[in-house]
Amino acid sequence: MKLLKLTLDNFRAFYGRQVLELDVDDDKPTVLVFGNNGAGKTTLLNAFTWALYGTFSADVEQQHRVVHDQKWADTGFGEPVSASVKLEFEHDGTIFAVLREVSVVKDADEQGPVTPRLVVTEVRRGESHQVPNGQDRIEKILPEALRRFFFFNGERMEKMFTAEENNGEVKQAIKTLLGLEAIERAINDHLPKAARRLAKELGKDGGTRLQQLRDDQEQLEQRQMDTRERALEVSRDISSYKAQVEAMERALRDNEQAAPLQKERQRIGKQTADEQVRLQERLARKRDLLSKGGFLAFTGGVDETVIDLADGMRRRRELPAGIQRDFIDGLIEEGRCMCGTPVAPGSPAFEELDKRRYNAGLADVEARWMYVSGQMKHLGDARRALLEELRQSAEDMQACEDTIARLDAERSEVDRQLQGVDVQDVQRLEQNRKEYDEKRIAAMSEHRRLEEIVAELDLEIEKVKRRFRSAEAADEESRRVQQQVNLVNEVLDAFSEVLEVKTEEVRLRLDAKVKEVFSRIYIKSHTPVLTPAFELQLTSPAGVAIRSTGENQVLGLSFVGAVSELAHEIHERKNNNSEEILDEGGIYPVVMDAPFGSLDLTYQEDISAALPKLTSQIVTLLSQSQARGKVMEHLQGAATRMYVLRSVTPNRDAAEETIEINNRTVPYVTHGDFERTLLEEVTV
C-alpha cells in the first residue's frame, strides 16, 4: 500500500477542499505536516482511518460533527450539505480511491450522527471500476486490526503493549500481517471440516472399516474439541488471575512509596500509645503519693515546734532521763535503796524514791517525746522526699506530654506525606496477591493437563488417520472418497508442520528486527525480546525491565518499524518467487501524530534520524516545538513534501504566528473571518 493523495472536503476543521499530496521519492520517504495545537493534526490523522474504516479514534471529541462548523452554519434549513475524505493509494499495481462521505439535508442547528457512505473505485489498466463491497476490499488490503501499527498517535504509543488485552491482539495482528493467519485458519477450521464433509460420502451404516475409522476419528475430534474449549476457558481464567496478580503487584509497588510511611505511622502510633500508658502510670503514682503522704505537705513547721517543745522540757528537767520506774519499784519493795539506805514508808528516803519513781514514770513520756521528735525529723525528711517525688513526677509527666506532642507532630507530617498516595493495607494486598497466584498456578497445572490430553488425542487421531489412509476400501466409491480425504489430510499435515516452522521463523526474524531498530534509537543497555508467545518484553541486565513511558514509546516505534521492515522483506521475497504460496507481507505506510510523545530531546533527535528508515513511506504530523535544531534537520533531510496546517482565527487578540521552514517564514496562525484550517504545501 502506497499512499498517493488525501482530499478533504469540509471535513471537521478543514473548510472547503484541502489536498495533501502523499507520493514520495524512494530516498526521501517522509511527508512532514506542521501544525500548532488545535490546528487539526489529530483530525488529519483520523481522516486517513475515517476514510478507510469509518471510525475515529477515541480521543476525537464530538465525533458526530463531521461537517465543518462554518459550512454547517452557512447551510440553510432544507438545503443539502456534505463532507468527505478521499484517500487515493496504490496496492499491488492497482490504484484505489476510497471516498467516505456524509451527505445530509440540514434540519437542525446542531449536527446529528450520520452513517457515512463509502465508495471504493479501482483503476486497473487505465479503466476505473467501482468495487462492489468496498469495505471488504479495504479489509483485505489493510485489516482494521492492523491500523494501530500504521496510523497512530505517538503520545499513546506507550499503551500499545502495556494493556494485558493488547497482547492477544498484537499477536494476531502480527500473524495477519506476516501471512500466518490464513494458514492457521486452514489448519484449525476449514481443512478438517472439508475432510469430514468428504468422509460423509462413505455413508452412515457404519458397517465398513472406513466408516468405523471415520466415526472413531469424529469421536476423537469431538473429545479434542471439547478439551480445547475447556483449555481455552482455563486459559482465560489464567489470564484473569494473572491480571489480578499483576494488579496486586502494581498496588504493592505503589505502596512501596507508602509502605515506609505507613510503617513510620504505625511506629509513631505505637509509641504514642506507650507514652500515654506511661503518662497514666505517672498520674496514678502521683495520685498514690498524694493520697498516702499528701498531708505531709501541710505539716511544714509542726515538726520543728514539737522538737523545740521536747527539747525545752528536757532542758527544764521536766523530762528526766535515767532510771526506769520498775527498777525503783523493786527498791521500794525491798525497803532499801541501791546505796544501802533503808527506805521505810514515810521516811525521807522513801519519799525521795517515790518522787524519783514518779519522775521515772515520765521517762516513758520522754521516750515518746523523743520518739515523736525523732519522727518529727523524719516527717520533715518525708515531706521533703514527697515534694521531691512530686516534682519528679511532674517532670516525668511533662516529659510524657512533650513526647506525645512530638509524636503527634511527626504523625501529622507522615499523614501529610501520605495524602494523595493510594494507601491500602499492604498485608491485605499481599494476601490477595498470594491467593490469586495460587489460583493461577492451579489453573496452569490444569491447563497443562488439558494440553497433554489434547496432545494424546492428536496421537490417537493420527493413528486413526493412518489406518484410514491404508485401510482397504470396500468398493470403488469408498476408495475414491478415501483418496479425497487422504489428499486433504496430506495438505493439513504439511500445513501444520509449516505453520510451526514459519511461526518460529517469523518470530526470530521479528525479534532480530526489533532488537536492531531499538538499538538504533535507545541508548541504554536494554534489549527487547519477542517471546515464543509473541509478547514483547524489554529486558535489562537485571531481568525483565519495568518500562517507563519513554521506553514504551521507543519500544512501540521500534516494533512498528520492525513489523514494517519485515512485512516489506517478506513481500519482496514473494514477488521474487511466484511459486511461493505462503509468504504474504506487504508495503505499508506509517502515519503518525506527535511521533516523539513526551520523549527527551536526545531521543527526539535519535528518533527523527531513525524514523525515515522505519518504512518506505511515513507521514509525520508535528508541532513547531517538536521540530527544532537537529530534529528538524533530520526530518527535512528525509522529506519529499512538507505542509503547514495554517490556523485561521477570527480572534484578533490572538497573535499571528509564523514558522521557519528551509529558511523561509511561513504563516502558521493568521487572522480571518472564521475558524478553519488550511493545508498549505511548503517548497522543500
Partner 1 sequence: MSDQRTAEAILGALSPEAMKLAKNVMGLERENLHIKNPTMLVQKIVDATRELTK
Residues that bind partner 1 (CB under 8 A): 136, 139-140, 143, 176, 181-183, 185-186, 190-191, 193-194, 197-198, 480, 483-484, 487-488, 490-491, 494-495, 497-498, 501-502, 505, 581-582, 584
Grid cell listed for 326? 520498775
Q: Which is nearer to partner 1, 483 or 662 (CB)?
A: 483
Residue nearer to partner 1 on the CB measure, 133 or 602? 133
Burial (Cβ within 10 Å: 0-12, 13-18, ≥19) of residue 23: middle
Query: How many Cα atoms occupy the beta-carbon half-sphere of 538 within 13 Å?
Result: 23
Minimal distance in Å, beta carbon 582 to partner 1?
6
Minimum separation from the CB atom of position 502 to partner 1 (A): 5
Least distance (Å) between residue 566 CB and partner 1: 16
| Of 606, 619, 604, 609, residue with least CA distance to 679 | 619
Task: Return the number of the residue (185 or 355) whose C-beta is nearest partner 1.
Answer: 185
In whole angstroms, the minimum distance from the beta carbon of 631 to partner 1 comes to 39
Taking the C-alpha atoms of residue 69 and residue 675, their distance in angstroms, rounded to an integer, is 9
Cβ closest to partner 1, residue 201 vs residue 318: 201
In 469-554, DSSP assigns E strands to 527-530, 536-540, 543-544
- The answer to whether the beta carbons of residues 594 and 622 sit under 8 Å apart is yes
Minimum gap (Å) between residue 200 Cβ and partner 1: 10
Residue type at position 173:
A
The partner residues of 644 in beta bridges, in order of sequence, read 34, 680
Q: Could you tell me the smallest distance in angstroms from the CB atom of residue 173 to partner 1?
A: 13
The residue (of 222 and 347) whose beta carbon lies closer to partner 1 is: 222
Question: Based on CB atoms, which residue is closest to partner 1, 405 or 508?
Answer: 508
User: What pairs with residue 528 in β-bridges?
Assistant: 538
- List, in sequence order, the alpha helices (H) in 54-96: 69-74
Please state the closest distance from residue 100 (CB atom) to partner 1, in A.
18
Least Cβ distance, residue 500 to partner 1 (angstroms):
9
Provide, rounded to whole angstroms, the least separation between the CB of residue 124 and partner 1.
17
From 624, 672, 505, 684, select the one nearest 70 (Cα to Cα): 672
Q: Give the separation between CA 174 and CA 146, rounded to whole angstroms.
A: 8
Q: Which three cell numbers stand for residue 119?
A: 465508495
At its nearest, how many Å lie between partner 1 and the CB of residue 122?
Answer: 16
**Would you say 267 or 469 has its CB closer to partner 1?**
469
- In this structure, the strands spanning 676-682 and 639-649 are antiparallel
The phi-psi region of residue 322 (left if phi > 0; otherwise alpha if psi is between -120 and 50; otherwise beta) is: left
* DSSP conformation class of 76: P
Beta strands 639-649 and 30-35 are parallel
Asked whether the beta carbons of 583 and 570 are under 8 A apart, the reply is yes
Q: Residue 174 or 622: which CB sits closer to partner 1?
A: 174
Decide if 14 contacts 68 (C-beta within 8 A). yes
Q: Is 131 helix (H, G, I), strand (E, B) or coil?
A: coil
* DSSP code at position 483: H
Give me the least distance between CB of 499 and partner 1, in Å please.
Answer: 9
- Give 172 or 235: the residue with its C-beta nearer to partner 1: 172
Task: Give 221 or 304: the residue with its C-beta nearer to partner 1.
Answer: 221
- 384: closest CA among 269, 451, 297, 321? 297
Residue 544 identity (one-letter amino acid): V
Residues belonging to the chain = 684
